Amino acid sequence: MRQAILKELSFGGFMASTDWAPRRDFVERAIEVPICLALIIFFAPLMLLVALLVKLQDGGPVLFGHRRVGLHGKSFKCLKFRSMVVDAEARLHALLVSDPAARAEWEQDHKLRKDPRITMLGDFLRRSSIDELPQLFNVLRGEMSLVGPRPIVQGEVCRYGHYFETYCQLRPGITGLWQVSGRSDVSYRRRVALDVTYARTRSLKRYFGILVATAPAVLARRGAH
């Protein structure tokens, strides 16, 4: 009887049922593929304009595919409009070697509030989240979901500790609890907790709730840097 009750509660988002999980994955994919196609068509003029501006600023590549950890720990290229200079990795390495304060900030959150690699156009794209629009193609390819934990790089795996297994249970998301809770204003420890919370309380109700909350969060630019 208790197991039957728990299974019923899982649909409402209180517990992740193993029996319901495959069906939930199928339903989510069936929902988000047409949503993605509609969003790509809607944002196509904007994406073409951004692609042109990125190309004109320095002649470098329009898209940047950064290796991230995905479902079951598999690596994939997370697509973004390039918001950094072409020699970004070299500049980051030089900065971290020469600036202890920047190195400490990077080691804490894997982010820099004053990042010398970001172009003027890139700063706008990041603050507006326009740089992440190409990830709609990651969703179509099944590498990401519209909603899920923020995709991490291999160097961040240790920050998740034993919760990394929980992270690997889901496809990373374009948006998620972290994004609608303050993004970069949220500590890394809190970010991990939010990812684990979503994984353990995942439901279609929460899925759509986060999607609805994403637009106001993006427009308000909370924690966007």
Cα(first)–Cα(last) distance of the chain, in Å? 49
Asked if residue 4 has pLDDT above 70, the reply is no
Record the pTM: 0.81
80 within 8 A of 132, measured Cβ to Cβ? yes
- Per residue in 143-166, pLDDT tens? 999 999 999 999 899 989 999 999
Cβ atoms of 17 and 130 closer than 8 Å: no
Angle between helices 21-58 and 120-128 (to 10 degrees): 160
Contacts of 64 by beta carbon, 8 Å cutoff, 6+ apart:
79, 80, 81, 82, 83, 84
Residue 221: band (very low, low, confident or very high) from pLDDT cuts 50, 70, 90? low
Q: What is the mean pLDDT of residues 66-70?
A: 94
Q: What is the pLDDT of residue 142?
A: 94
How much is the pLDDT for 52?
A: 97
Domain range summary for the chain, segments of one domain joined by +: 18-83+118-220
| 81 close to 62: Cβ distance less than 8 angstroms | yes
Apex 24 CA angle, 163 and 36, nearest 5: 95
Instruction: Specify the DSSP element, H or E, that contains 63.
Output: strand 63-69
